[in-house]
Amino acid sequence: MNMEKVEGFGGFFFRADDPEGLAQWYLQHLGINPVPSSVEAEAWEQKAGPTVFAPFAKATDYFGDDEKQFMLNFRVSNLDKIVQQLKTAGIEVQPITEEAQIGRFARLQDPEGNPIELWEPAQAA
């Protein structure tokens, strides 16, 4: 018997001090549509590609702030371009790092301090 599996994320839900303001920040700087307020409004649609589901040890320092329980990782096609857009908007972005087999990464935080990692996957040879 084949196991039925989930097909992907249908949403990511989290608490915020200013939900509307934070939704607008994600729209303005990362192009993520807020939750639709009607059936005619469009939800954010992601491109098909790899998605990593990775629980980390409670003591990890990978997320930066020890108080944060999650880190968002977004795939991008042009890391240099989006990093420049963010810096032009006055958003601090940590330097780009590269892991040859995986791709290139940059880090930032949203206005509420939630860690974000941008990932440009390595191109298949």
pTM value > 0.85: yes
**Annotation: CATH topology of 19-121:** 2,3-Dihydroxybiphenyl 1,2-Dioxygenase; domain 1 (3.10.180)
From the centroid of its chain, how far is CA 63? 12
Helices 79-88/19-30 angle, 10° precision:
130
Q: What number is the average pLDDT over the span 92-114?
A: 93
pLDDT tens track for 18-72: 999 999 999 999 999 999 999 999 999 999 998 999 999 999 999 988 889 999 9
